Amino acid sequence: MAETIKVLIPEKDVDERIEALGKKISEDYAGKQIHMICVLKGGVFFMCELAKRISVPVSLDFMCVSSYGDATSSSGVVRIAKDLDESIEGKEVLIVEDIIDSGRTLAYLIEVLKKRNPKSVHLCTLLDKPERREKEVQVDYVGFEIPDEFVVGYGLDYAQKYRNLPYIGVVEGLE
């Protein structure tokens, strides 16, 4: 059977939710500057949309971490494929991620970043699958909690495909 995509969260709902998150984050960080750290590649679509809706000053940096594993689950072993360009010392860091699944990637990343003496570290994720959690992670801002299904779109991929879908979908017909 060929792969097909079923819409789980339509584009309009994603846009509205990001708008609300941007407003809340802007209120919470009033008078401060946010250093947004995008977790590549998945977080990039969300980060761009979110950053445009934040009204306090922001600076951006990117990190690429990959967890060794098969296509649809992470092994818990995390490798930094691309580190940040700038120091985060004394900065108000906001990590922007596409999805928290087992929590292993972010638990590791937060630990690494905290050692670099930022002023604060908070976490914003577009999607959260709380049922799948293996490592506890404090998630400060969540777009949507979703059930345990493999999703694509808005940065999320299946075998590097579907990142550019402007909505969140579920892949059906996987072998």
Which residues bind to ligand IMP, rule: CB under 6 A?
A: 42, 67, 74, 97-105, 150-152, 156
Distance CA 42, CA 97 (A): 7
Nearer to Mg ion, 49 or 98 (CB): 98
> Which partner in Mg ion, ligand IMP, none is near 153 (CB below 5 to 8 A by kind)?
none
Token code pair at residue 16:
């509205």
How many residues sit close enough to Mg ion to count as binding (CB under 5 A)? 2
Q: Which of ligand IMP, Mg ion, none interacts with 100 (beta carbon under 5 to 8 A by kind)?
A: ligand IMP
15: Cβ–Cβ under 8 A, 6 or more apart, which residues? 49
Of 96, 34, 92, 21, the residue nearest 65 (C-alpha): 96
Query: Which class for 81: exposed (0-12), middle (13-18), buried (19 or more C-beta within 10 A)?
Result: exposed
- Pairing mode of beta strands 34-40, 58-70: parallel
Binds 150: which of Mg ion, ligand IMP, none (CB < 5-8 Å by kind): ligand IMP
Establish if 153 lies at the interface with Mg ion (CB under 5 A).
Answer: no
* Least CB distance to ligand IMP at residue 83 (A): 17
Site residues, Mg ion (CB under 5 A): 42, 98
